[in-house]
Amino acid sequence: MWGDCKYKILFSSLILCLIHNGSGLSRIDPLVDSKVGLIRGLRASDGDYSMFMGIPYATVDKSNPFGPATPHPVFDDIFEAYDDSAICPQIEEFNNTIVGTLDCLHINIYAPNSANSRNRLPVAVWIYGGGFSIGFSGRYLYGPRYFVNQDIILVTLNYRLGPYGFMSLNTPDVPGNQGLKDQRLALKWIKDNIEAFGGDSDKITIFGESAGGASVDLQFLYNQEKLFDKVIMQSGTAICPWAVIEPDTLAPLKLSEHLGFKTSNAEEALAFLATVDTNLVIAAASELDLMFRPTVEEGFDSDDKFIYDYPINVKKTNLRNVPILIGYNSDERLAQYETLPSADFAKLDLFNDHLQHFNLDDESFVEMEALLRHFYIGDEKISGNVKNELIKFDSDFWFNHPVQRTIQKYLDGGARNIYQYVFSYDGKRNFVKDRLNVTAAGAAHADEIGYFFDISYMGPPSLEDQVIIDRVTTLWANFVKFGNPTPVTTELLPVQWPSVTKESLNYLNIDSELKVEKRHYKSRMAFWDLFYKLNKNAQIGYEESSK
């Protein structure tokens, strides 16, 4: 693609473009002319694709690093897109160290060499998970090889996290959801510039896992312009109980005091925090156990509000032509309980804790707690003896049933092309189980990552794992290309994956074999359907007159 001389290539690169052809092109580093200027990438050494890494799409205001970012200006010179190491401030999960800078709003583009202006390829944009507090887009975890082999362009993006991404004061300067607005700026950049890389700007799919899946749903639910045409949500949606929370508007005062500057004025606190090293702010947020997540933006008027009401109140309609792929893993909360010391089970108060997500009076609270307890563990006390039941309860509350509710929400909105999956495969590349040395059977939260991405520290896949890699990336790539994960059956994909309907809740069970089944965990999901029907008005933020 990069030898297509329609692109403005400077000096010697232009001469090389004119002189060389055929195999000679593989020796030329790719250089493209985007709307923001010339960008030079690298030829990949592990496949027939090119990499454009660390492209800045937005800039953080140093005087207000907790506020909205602005689009990055155009490049005066050639931008050398060689570095994917940028990471936003956080305590990263691999070494538990504080890392990152605010110069982190970058994207990485991985394009097959077949992509050009005469052969525009569909685009998949990955939004990482990590509880809105950790995550990064580099190849250390999200190696692109498996996806670009499917003849699609893969884009990964960084967005701000923790206090820098999700502090909310409900003011125009710090409205909340800065990280989601970062994502939106990245999506605008991709929409505007991806054709320079051989991408099809009319075929952009956004996909993500956990907080990334919730981000995808939030972008879908609140989008004000057409920046993508398909969505994939893996183990996370906008109505997961952890996805949108009430903000802690005292957070800047707490952080400021913890770092040595006590004040009762939020603006003074923010001005102080803007001068403090990001590592110290991240450490303070951790030490104070502060939580920063997406929030409803209220209390001020602005055209740039992102989340204007709780997701449960927002109805999205006219979805007939929007393909949706959505699902979860078979045992989402497996790792949390398999790694919990036996003595710590007695300290858990799960049923009480989870009901804090509802506005219940005292009598109803006691009644609902008993109902949950009896359904999952009967008359048993919480202990390691009922570990499997606790895994089911926790998985259903945080992930499984929210996904089912989301499917129903979009069916009601007119969606006709919803494809549900359950990832059940248990192999050597199950990401979280591998990291935490969990040996119990099942697919834990985020375990599928190892089959979608070429994780740098994992060795070559086994033959069995390679089949799963080929299958899931083909299914996802088919969806990106056609809006249908199985447009035809093949030896690799021998089953037709039917869409969900109101009459038939089909799903594809992705295991050593692919099987089409119906109504996953049907008894437990029916229980939660009734629970939410009974407690509909007690949901935090619920309003009868939904929008």
Contact assessment for residue 510 and residue 517, using Cβ atoms and an 8 Å cutoff: no
DSSP 8-state secondary structure symbol assigned to residue 301: -
Is residue 210 flagged as an active site residue? yes
Exactly one of 13, 133, 210, 330 is catalytic; name it: 210
The residue behind tokens 């992509």 is: 115
Closest by Cα among 232, 211, 210, 215 to 447: 210
Residues paired with residue 506 on neighbouring β-strands, in sequence order: 518
Is residue 332 flagged as an active site residue? yes
**What is the length of the chain?**
547
**CA dist., res. 103 & res. 89, Å (int):** 9
Q: What is the β-pairing status of strands 153-157 and 121-127?
A: parallel
**CA dist., res. 386 & res. 376, Å (int):** 9
Exactly one of 195, 209, 332, 448 is catalytic; name it: 332
Contact assessment for residue 72 and residue 56, using Cβ atoms and an 8 Å cutoff: yes
Q: How far is CA 490 from CA 415, 429, 473, in A?
A: 27, 24, 14
Q: Long-range CB contacts (< 8 A, 24+ apart) of 388-393?
A: 390/333, 390/337, 390/345, 390/348, 390/350, 391/331, 391/333, 391/334, 391/336, 391/337, 392/521, 392/524, 393/350, 393/351
| 402, 404, 410, 415: CA torsion to nearest 10 | 150
Label residue 54 exposed, middle or buried (CB < 10 Å: 0-12, 13-18, 19+).
buried
Give the three-state DSSP class for 418. strand
Active-site annotation, residues: 210, 332
